[in-house]
Every structure is written in C-alpha cells, then in structure tokens.
Amino acid sequence: MARLGFRPRLGIANVASTFRIPDVGDRPLRVLAIGCHGDDIEIGCGGTILSLLDARRVDVTWVVLGAADRERAQEAGASAAAFLSGSTNRVVLGAFRDAYMPYEGSAIKDFFAGLPDLVDPDLIFTHYRHDLHQDHRQANELTWQTFRAHSILEYEVPKWDGDLGSPNVYAPLARDVAKRKIDLLMEHFRTQREKDWFSPEVFEALMRLRAMECRAPEGAAEAFYAHKLTLDLT
C-alpha cells in the first residue's frame, strides 16, 4: 500500500503527520475513482483529482456504476470529460439502476471483477463504508473485495441522512480548485440542481469545515477515511 498524504487523529490536540504519495518513476500515477451515481466522484473527491492532475502525470480510470438513465449517463460522461480534461483517462459507465444495486448482486460483482483487467491502481477512491445510501455501501464492499492489496481512500457525499463521520485523511485544496470543482458540478448536473442539498453553498460549507479541521491554508479541503495503511519504515 502506498504512503498517503493524511493527518491521523491521534487523540492529542493539534498533532498531525503528513505522508506523501510515493514517486512511481517515469510512469503516470494510476488512479481508480469509483462512484455509484453521476455526481458522486465529483462531490467526494473531485477537488483532489483536479489537484493531482495539476501537480503530476496521472492516468485516471473513472467508473460510474449507475448510468442506466440516458440523461444521467450524458451528464456523467460530460462531467468526467471536464474534470479529466487534458489527462490520460478512461471513463466507464455502468448500467445499474439507482437504489437497486444491492439487489443486482451477481451482475455488479462480475462488473467489479473485471476492473483489475482495466487498471492496476496506485490509489483508489470509493464510497465511505458507513454511508447510509445502500448503493454506496455496496460499492464500498465490492471495492474492498476486489482490491485487497491497494491503497483505498473512502470519500464522503453530503445528504439529508446526516451520515457524515470523523474522517482521518485530509487533502487541502487551493481556492481556485475548490471553485472549479463547484462550478463544474453546477454546470454539468442539471437534473440535480432542483434538489435542496445540491448547491454551491453545501459543497463550499463541507470543504470549509474540513479545511478548518486540517488547517488548510486556503480554506478548502476534502476529507477521506483510510481503514488500512502500511507504514514504510525504510
């Protein structure tokens, strides 16, 4: 597992340690981002992916499981193209039904079983294991079943369920990156803009809250959950 940029909660006020993603040599960093719905990756880790793309060569495999609806599929594809503009990338749109993924067991498990044939990632972004959306929990479980020896960061998606937790990994964002994330979300997901939680104010508030927790210098951050990391003592 790779060493990651994270700030663990150690039970001591204001104690934080920073670990960095290791150098992978001349090749690009291979990233796998998994989301159940067309806006999940963008909300949960869009700013972090934009930051990685600004900083280094990255090969992104971007997987949206629930793209059965034609309009939502078009939104997902256009948004992925905008977030990944100028990078080496692969966008995969599944056709699983929103809210029914736990009930499509064998088909969705077979889908995940095929992902290692597409990419051997250095870093994986997926849903939080305690997310209260049933699709999100299914994606998390299958991510861990499929990629047992990889570095996995679980991202958060705000919703009315009130399921935000206490993350232990923080990615500070530049102010312009946070703004770009919000602008792209609002531009590409027309079908979601009528929902009261889908707003620039909500997205900015969460990034500001996580920035406060990790003292991000530009007042924006995304947060993640890391359940297994390996300490490299060399």
Condensed to tens digits (0 to 9), the pLDDT of residues 182-220 reads 999 999 999 999 999 999 999 999 999 999 999 999 999
The Cα–Cα gap between 203 and 206 comes to 5
Q: Is the pLDDT assigned to residue 9 strictly greater than 60?
A: no
Backbone angles phi, psi at 181, to 5 degrees: -60, -50
Condensed to tens digits (0 to 9), the pLDDT of residues 131-167 reads 999 999 999 999 999 999 999 999 999 999 999 999 9
The Cα–Cα gap between 221 and 15 comes to 18
Domains within the chain, CATH numbers bracketed: 29-225 (3.40.50.10320)
Q: Considering the chain, what percentage of its residues have pLDDT values greater than 90?
A: 84
The least confident of 21-30, 72-81, 178-187 is 21-30
State the alpha helices, DSSP H only, in the chain: 40-55, 70-83, 105-113, 115-118, 134-146, 175-188, 200-214
Estimate to the nearest angstrom the gap between the alpha carbon of 159 and the chain centroid. 16
